[in-house]
Structure 1
Amino acid sequence: MKRGNTTPFSGFTLIELMAIVAIVAVLAAIGVPSFRDMLLNQRLATAAQGFNAALGFARMEAIQRAQGVEVAALAGGDWSEGWVVRTGSDASSSTQSQTQTLRRFDRLPQGVSIDTTLGGGFAQGLRYDGNGFSRQTARAGFSAGCLTFKAETGRRASVIVSASGRAKICNPDVSGDCGSGACARGESGGA
């Protein structure tokens, strides 16, 4: 008499595999939106830090060269297309020197925009004089202001520039702008 195979089968049944695939699919569907939000928030932080670095670089160059250095939007006021740091003559200077581009920054990453409805002060650009003080390009007086970056997630990061020329990154309140809430109190939190 021949006996059948007494060794139990090892492995998974088709039904067990389908249940595992369904569980993995549900977990992936839950995880993808939070990963997207994390990615957009990181892009927001990168954009704000890049602009803050551009301001710091412009201020350093202005002091080092003892002449005006400007940070301006590439597309005439549309900061989302990128910005440039360049030298040039001061508006009050009697000599006109050639503009020299020191550094160019690319357009904002996908999912990040400039929220022009909040705060402001730098519609056309910002100039640092030879002493490192900030001035708007349209006026000769000292200038303070901010630029607010906004991610599609609704999170914001503002880069605030004081009249002394110092720039910092701040997280404005959800309903606030650059001049209110945590930013006005001087609470910075990065981007």
Structure 2
Amino acid sequence: MNNEDQGYSLLELMAVVLIIAIIALSTLPLLHEQMAAREIDIIARRFIAHAQFARAQAFQLGVPIRITPINGGLWEEGWAVKNVCNDRQPKSGCVERQWISQGDLGQVYFKGGGKQFIDPHTSKRGILFSAAGAAKTAQGGFVANRLILGHDRDSGLERQLILGSGGRWRICDPTKDPKACK
């Protein structure tokens, strides 16, 4: 047995490293897409959890609770869950309180489209849950609506957060089930 037959040549090792590098580079875009989809799903689930918390608080406390964009702006700035003081409640009996807020959304953003839970009477964004736990407009009508989430890294990636008339939320991926998202 020669010393020459005991190992791999530098050329063979370089070929293996090159093959591994090509495979890694070809899977990188898929990895980025999966990471972006995961980030959108996390924000979508967090929003729904906060909306369900707002609904539960409204029902439990017997007072209106709102999930609304921070500072009354756009959803992209984040959102907050707050109680609502109105004219029917004595000023001394109502203390505005914010329970939960979500600020920085990272590279996730709310796309245009959908009605974005804009009250047709007041033109304000947000979801008001009545003391009975129902999503209502300022005039008492039901708010069946949707928000559409996107990601900076992949403009074609989207998730829709849909609130049904029974108060049930669902997350819809239009690329996988376009009929369910309509």
TM-score between both structures, scaled by the size of structure 1 = 0.79
The structure whose Rg is larger is 1
In the TM superposition, what are the counterparts of 1:1-191 in structure 2 within 5 Å?
6-90=2-86, 93-96=88-91, 97-110=94-107, 112-116=108-112, 118-123=113-118, 124-136=125-137, 139-151=139-151, 152-153=153-154, 154-172=156-174, 181-184=179-182
Q: How much has 1:140 moved relative to structure 2?
A: 4.0
Classify the secondary structure of the residue corresponding to 1:72: strand
Query: Relative to total residues, which structure has the larger helix share, 1 or 2?
Result: 2
AA at the equivalent of 1:162: G
54-63 or 12-21, which moves further after superposition? 12-21
RMSD across aligned positions (CA) = 2.3
Paired residues of 1:121 and 1:144 also in contact (CA < 8 A): no
Per-residue deviation, 1:9? 3.8
* Contact 1:88 1:99 survives alignment (8 Å): yes
CA distance in 2, matches of 1:57, 1:94: 22
Equivalent AA in structure 1 for residue 114 of structure 2: G
Which amino acid in the other structure matches residue 43 of structure 2? A
Task: For residues 87-125 of structure 1, give each alpha carbon's deviation from its aligned partner in whole angstroms, at most 9, with x where no partner exists.
Answer: 1224x6243422101111232132x21112x11242421
Cα displacement (A) at 1:142: 2.5
> What 5-or-longer segments of structure 2 have no aligned partner?
119-124
Structure 1, unmatched stretches of 5+, are 185-191
Return the offset for 1:64.
0.3
Take 2:95 and 2:174, find their aligned partners in 1: how far apart are those partners?
Answer: 38
Q: Distance in 2 between matches of 1:173 and 1:7?
A: 58
Aligned amino acid, residue 42 of structure 1:
R
Task: Find the counterpart in structure 1 of residue 121 from structure 2.
Answer: none
The number of aligned residues is 171
Confirm or deny: 8 A CA contact 2:117 2:143 kept in the other structure: no
Q: 1:93 to 1:169 in 2, by over 3 A?
A: farther
Q: Relative to structure 1, is the Cα distance of residues 164 and 67 closer, same or farther in structure 2, using a 3 angstrom cutoff?
A: farther
Deviation of the 1:77 alpha carbon = 2.6
